[in-house]
Structure 1
Amino acid sequence: MPELLASIVASVLAITLHEAAHGYAALALGDDTAKRMGRLSLNPLRHVDQVGTILLPGFLLVTQLLTVGRVEFMFGWAKPVPVDVMALHNPRRGMMIVAAAGPAMNFLLAWTAGLLVHPVELFGSLLSPDSLGMAYRFLGLCILANLVLGLFNLLPIPPLDGGRIVTGLLPRALALPYMRLERWGILIVLFVVFLLPRLTDGVDPVGWALRNVVSEAFTLVVRLSGNGAGP
């Protein structure tokens, strides 16, 4: 139960600051839509999506606990911060910067969590062994949650942040049809995450990413925060 609570707290922090970063970036570039709608907030409740934040993660949590007795995988999303692209000073470039702000915040938070390992080590003698272990575990979960969220959102599929970055890079003739994929984006993501591994033997993009991309990124964050060579 303590580890589950730590995982939830780490995920909520990652998601909340990810969405807030989008809103603050948009405000800095001329769009105050999020501010006017009360979404420029660090309050996690302002970013809750009934399906993506509550129903789907809750369903995954309960079914995994009932079937395999542990949580092996979680998936969900927050309510996107509203952005009026045409209100940005430079719509195409601004859209790319606003989209990149979310993952950039997650990578910054992952690095910050790595840096916080040093004061924990410094004052570790003041904590009980259990508390010290939990502190290390929480920081590790913070790094992991932020890396998973940041890297996942860089996938070049609209409406993910990576899709919007690609849209800003494409010529206008290609950008417009590419943007139309946004209506199918979540279905594409759900197909790749849930259905593809079950329909094709040995094809598991999420498992491959966790074993390779996220693992390598975790090691890099550990090194960049001065914590040795990593796991």
Structure 2
Amino acid sequence: MLNNINEFVLIIVPLLFAVTIHEVAHGYVAYRMGDSTAKMAGRLSLNPVRHLDPVGSFFLPIILYFSGSPFLFGYAKPVPVNFANLYDYRRGTIFVGAAGVVANLICAVLSGLLFQFLIYAASLWHGSFLQSLVIPFLNMLNYSVIINLVLAVFNMIPIPPLDGSRILAMFLPESLRIPFQRIERYGMIIIILLLMTKSLGKIIFFFVTPLCNLLLGT
């Protein structure tokens, strides 16, 4: 049980950081492109407390972890964005929508680079106290790569209200854009059904697995 708790802590720390950086990226890009809603709400902060959602940041990861789910993810409270305030609505919507995904990809790459550096360093410290000290950080970085990649790929799925749907909507003709955006009211139901049938997991890991192998050097 203690090992499970220790492992969960090693997972929840990078998860909280990943969902925080995802939302801050949305708010920051929106601010730079003309909308200060997130800034005025105090959401351009790396303090996770400002972004935590009781269900998405705690209960969902706990349920997924202890139910033996093949992947773990969560979400934070969405950063408020008034897209009507953006200098260029179409371009701004694309950039704001892509910001969280790009932030997670950057975190995954940096975590992977640091992971491989520490693997090399640990090989030089073989049998020493430093090697045992670095193992928890290696585990945390390993989870950071996986979690950030899962979040990036998951959010790029073009199902409203996920980020990928906002980006896709900007490339659709208006006659299709409005009906597509109306799907948002059913979006979470669609996502839950896809999760229950495990088809969403297969889509996510189709992209995540090779990227993990590349970044973790496996």
TM over 0.5: yes
Q: Distance in 1 between matches of 2:118 and 2:215?
A: 17
**Relative to 1, partners in 2 of residues 1:110 and 1:122: Cα closer, same or farther, differing over 3 Å?**
same
Query: Structure 1 unaligned runs (5+)?
Result: 65-69, 198-203, 223-229
Q: Which residue, out of 2, 6, 11, partners 1:7?
A: 11
Q: SS of the residue aligned with 1:100?
A: helix
Given the alignment of the two structures, is residue 107 of structure 1 paired with residue 105 of structure 2, yes or no?
A: yes
Instruction: Determine the structure 2 residue equivalent to 1:28.
Output: 32
- Residues 55-89 of structure 1, C-alpha deviation per residue, up to 9 Å, x if partnerless? 33344445x2xxxxx56444532111011001000
Aligned twin of 2:202: 208
Shift of 1:52: 2.2
Question: Aligned partner of 1:174: which letter?
Answer: L
* Aligned-partner Cα distance in 1 for 2:62–2:215: 30
Paired-residue identity, %: 40
1:181 to 180, 183, 191: 183
From 111, 118, 121, the equivalent of 1:120 is: 118
**Cα offset, 1:188, TM superposition:** 0.9
| CA shift in 2, pair 1:113/1:75, >3 Å | closer
TM-superposed deviation, 1:25:
0.5
TM normalised by structure 2 equals 0.87
**Change in CA separation of 1:61 and 1:85 when aligned onto 2, cut-off 3 Å:** same
Distance in 1, Cα, partners of 2:57 & 2:119? 34
Q: Unpaired runs of 5+ in structure 2?
A: none
Superposed displacement of residue 208, structure 1: 1.9
The letter for the 1-side match of 2:132 is: D
Indicate the RMSD between aligned Cα atoms, in angstroms. Answer: 2.0
Choose which of 52, 58, 62 in structure 2 pairs with 1:54: 58
SS of alignment partner, residue 169 of structure 1: coil
Which residue among 40, 44, 47 is the counterpart of 2:44? 40
Please report the TM-score for the alignment, with normalisation by the length of structure 1: 0.83
Tell me the SS of whatever aligns to 2:185.
Answer: helix
Alignment check: 8 A CA contact 2:24 2:46 kept: yes
Secondary structure of the corresponding residue to residue 79 of structure 2: coil
CA distance in 2, matches of 1:183, 1:54: 24
Contact kept? 2:195, 2:201, Cα under 8 Å:
no
Structure 2: which amino acid aligns with 1:213?
F
CA deviation profile, 1:142-194 (whole Å, cap 9, x unmatched):
11010000000000011100000001111122111111111211111111102
Name the counterpart of 1:221: 215
> Relative to 1, partners in 2 of residues 1:215 and 1:118: Cα closer, same or farther, differing over 3 Å?
closer
The answer to whether structure 1 residue 91 and structure 2 residue 85 are counterparts is: no
Change (3 A) 1:99 1:210: closer
Q: Using a 3 Å threshold, how does the CA distance of structure 1 residues 147 and 75 change in structure 2: closer, same or farther?
A: closer
After TM superposition, give the deviation of residue 129 of structure 1 in Å: 3.5
Distance 1:131 1:30 in 2: 46
Distance 1:85 1:114 in 2: 34
Distance 1:61 1:116, change over 3 A: closer
Residue in structure 2 matched with residue 168 of structure 1 by the alignment: 170
